[in-house]
Amino acid sequence: MALASLTSRERMLTAIDGGVPDRLPVTTHHLMSYFLNEYMNGASDIEFFDHFGLDAIIWAGPVKNEPSDNWRIEEQEIPGHDYRTIRYTIVTPAGNLATVIQYNEYTCWVTERLVKDKKDIDLIGQYVPSPVCDVESVNSIADNNADKLIRGSICSFDLFGQPGTWQDAACLFGIEKLIMATFDDPQWVHTFLKILQKRKKEYIASLKGAKYDILELGGGDASSTVISPAIFDEYVAPYDMELIRLAHGISQRIVYHTCGGMMPILENIAAMKPDAMETFTPPGMGGDVDLANARKRVPSDICMIGGFDQFHFFKDCGQEQTRAEVRRCFEAAGQNGAFILSPSDHFFDAEPELLMAFADEARKCTY
């Protein structure tokens, strides 16, 4: 097959597998509904990718969950708040757990953590069900979108969570309290992480035969702007490395997502042997990544995804500045392949003409 004929999927998979595609793959992370509604009249994800000429990703996550009287989620809207506010109660035979989540047009956030007392994890350990991948639905999506990358994630906790084991715990307990617990009660933290990891391991087992191209693991609470390398090595890597190993055992690729600081832990992440790493957030966005230095330190067979400063170059600048930032990223990290240009995580606001310049310049970056 001639390189010039590569589809978006083939182009990105070539990079993910450590190779050199026909040109620089260029895409984006999660597309936010706010952007599509505010700037593109409610366009679909596919319409977005087609309009800007970006390499298309289909996010898919169909699961099969059997109803259970041992784990029943109830919700109640709480009036009188500036934002839509819902209290979720998880009912189990031995007691209830509750969390409060607020929503606006951009996103959602937790105002009351699910795990309030250390004994609450006993209810989770005893009763939480493990989701099962709907392999048939995933494969139908893949078959109907053969030219697009099919991306999913390792299961997060119900209601509010993240793919990584440590990150799930941070969502449920609060990152500050979780960090303190690593000093005050490390055994409890390990017990908590094992409970959450067990659920993810069971989900990974159900992925056998699913036509995902890559699955996300990790999250921002494991970045070096949040925790130390020592905490990463003791509480993050052992749990997520095993998940990566299990995923590889059933021929699933993993991208490890770390939005925030990465430079002090680049080798620590790479040692877990993911197929790709992201988001390589630049200092202008609160990260710390020097792309050229990172490319030298990340093994050449691990794909780097991200690196682009969407805050400064998707709005309030000229098109030539956006194009120059694309070239900077390509020259720093993309010269030998194994690199996918992408904003370092999602965005809400962007000037469409700058997005067009971003995509157009990237398509001109050839090998």
Residue 63 backbone dihedrals phi, psi, to 5 degrees? -130, 160
Return the amino acid letter for 32: M
User: Side by side, which strands form the sheet with 149-153?
Assistant: 57-59, 149-153, 214-218, 254-257, 276-279, 303-308, 339-343
pLDDT at res. 1: 38
pLDDT, tens only, 306-352: 999 999 999 999 999 999 999 999 999 999 999 999 999 899 999 99
Q: DSSP strand E in the chain: where?
A: 57-59, 63-64, 72-77, 84-92, 95-103, 108-112, 132-133, 149-153, 214-218, 254-257, 276-279, 303-308, 339-343
Alpha-carbon gap, residue 189 to 235, rounded angstroms: 8
Q: What global pTM score does this model have?
A: 0.96
Alpha-carbon gap, residue 334 to 367, rounded angstroms: 9
- Read off the tokens for 168: 């799930």
Q: Which domains does the chain have, with CATH numbers?
A: 3-64+129-363 (3.20.20.210), 67-115 (no CATH)
pLDDT, tens only, 241-289: 999 999 999 999 999 999 999 999 999 999 999 999 999 999 999 999 9
For residue 366, whether the previous peptide bond is cis, meaning omega lies within 30 degrees of 0, is no
pLDDT, tens only, 95-116: 999 999 999 999 999 999 999 9
